[in-house]
Amino acid sequence: MSFSSLFESGESARNKSHFATLVALAKSSGIKAEEAVQLLRFKQVLDISDSDYDAILKDPHSYPVTPPNTSDERIQWLHDLFKIVFADHKMDEPEHMLLRKYATALGYNDADAEYLVERSIEIFNGHLNLEDYRHLLNKNR
* 97-131: pLDDT as tens digits: 999 999 999 999 999 999 999 989 988 888 777 88
Q: Which of 47-51, 92-96, 131-135 has the highest mean pLDDT?
A: 47-51
When comparing pLDDT for 128 and 38, which is higher?
Answer: 38
What does the pLDDT read at residue 5? 53
**What are the start-end ranges of the H helices in 59-109?**
71-85, 93-105
Torsion angle defined by CA atoms of residues 37, 43, 49 and 54, in that order, rounded to the nearest 10 degrees: -50
Mean of pLDDT values over 39-64: 96
Residues 58 and 9: their CA atoms lie apart, in Å, by 23
CA atoms within 13 A on the CB side of 50: 0
Is it the case that residue 139 has pLDDT exceeding 90? no
Stretch (H or E) spanning 108: none
What predicted TM-score, i.e. pTM, was given to this entire model? Answer: 0.84
Position 8 confidence tier, pLDDT thresholds 50, 70, 90: low
Residues 109 and 127: their CA atoms lie apart, in Å, by 25
Q: What DSSP character marks residue 70?
A: S
Average pLDDT in the chain: 89
